[in-house]
Amino acid sequence: MKPCLSFLPVACFMAGLIAAPALADRVIRDQIGRDVTLPDTIERAVVLQHQTLNIAVQLDALGQVVGVLDQWKKQLGPGFARLAPGIGDMATPGGLTSVNIEELLRLRPDVVFVTNYAPAEMRAQIEAAGLPVVAVSLLDVPPEEAVKMNPAFTDERAAYDNGFRQGVRLIAEVLGKEAGGAALIAAAGETRALVAERLKDIDPAKRVRAYMANPDLTTYGSGKYTGLMMAYAGAENVAAASIKGYKQVSMEEILGWNPEVIFVQDRYPQVVDEIRQGAAWQPIRAVQDNRVYLMPEYAKAWGYPMPEAMALGEVWMAKALYPDQFADIDMDRMADDYYRRFYRQPYQP
């Protein structure tokens, strides 16, 4: 090997690490419209997006993952370690919007998964090192919108429902888990019909008015799966009319909305205490009626859809909103069946 004469230490480091590329014999199109050439078999994947990581675990592909995003615990919750044995020992060479290229190269990945809104320069940096990059959005929107954190689209349900199916198929195809991907997609939509049937007689004008509370008075408005999840569960998202995407709001706005129910994601349990004990929240009807709910771990109310949020979370939310219509539904049993099937672990409420 000729000595590296570059004065750039990273360039020398990269030149010493990059081996001859594996035979690449397939091309896939990712969710931001890019054609990506991949090896036929993926043995070493780095996943820098928590949604993709969650789906990969449900596809039983964790054994192919050698590196994960640095904020996996914050994004997925500390309980995710139970569902992904060994994840705490994995390398963390980057996150949603940045990467440490030297650490990444040490892992010798066959593919790197990134989020759709990862900066273009981040993707370019990884590709310049000779590594294939697959971007996942879980949205069906034009490429120019797909790269945005808050993309524009006219049909919210089609964008998320179609995008979810496309995203799961993409991840499954890359990792060679096509059968698991088909099963996951099927399971995700099984309870939609049940919920719709039981809510069909509810007057749209009388739907329960709900608010999704996150830390620092942030919430989800329109254009995110969280609002769609509320809609499928029979709720009216009070922030949808005035908020686009994920934003911080004021206490005055929340008081004006006066939601009947407040939901809090399972990864933010401290927010429930802040609401129940905070003086500013006491005039709100949801607090007065003791209808502030910490969501279970399977009801992942993110801006992007997750399989168990669709399969389990939407019916859980509908049951919380309309308990009489779902009195016969045993959520713990339903969740346990799902967890044993896709996480290969029992559900522990």
How far apart (Å, rounded) are the C-alpha atoms in residues 73 and 323? 32
Per-residue pLDDT, 79: 86
Task: Provide the pLDDT for residue 261.
Answer: 98
pLDDT at 337: 97
Radius of gyration of the chain (CA): 21
Q: 152 and 78, same structural domain?
A: yes
Q: Which of 188, 222, 250 is the last residue of a domain?
A: 188
Q: Give the DSSP letter string of 39-91.
A: ESS---EEE--HHHHHHHHHTT-GGGEEEEETTHHHHH-TTHHHHSTTGGGSE
Burial of 218 (0-12, 13-18, 19+ CB in 10 A): middle
| Total Cβ atoms within 10 A of residue 202 | 14
What is the number of structural domains in the chain?
2
Give me the pLDDT at residue 24, please: 47
Q: Is residue 7 exposed (0-12), middle (13-18) or buried (19+ Cβ within 10 Å)?
A: exposed
Residue 164: give the domain boundaries: 21-188
Q: Domain check: are 162 and 197 in the same one?
A: no
Do residue 37 and residue 154 come from a single domain?
yes
pLDDT of residue 302: 80
Residues of the chain with pLDDT under 50: 1-22, 24
pLDDT of residue 120: 97
Question: Is the distance from CB of 315 to CB of 329 less than 8 angstroms?
Answer: yes
d(CA 185, CA 201) in angstroms, rounded, equals 28
Same-domain check for residues 209 and 162: no
pTM for this prediction: 0.86
The dihedral formed by the CA atoms of 21, 22, 26 and 28, expressed in degrees to the nearest 10: -60
| Whole-number pLDDT of residue 12 | 46
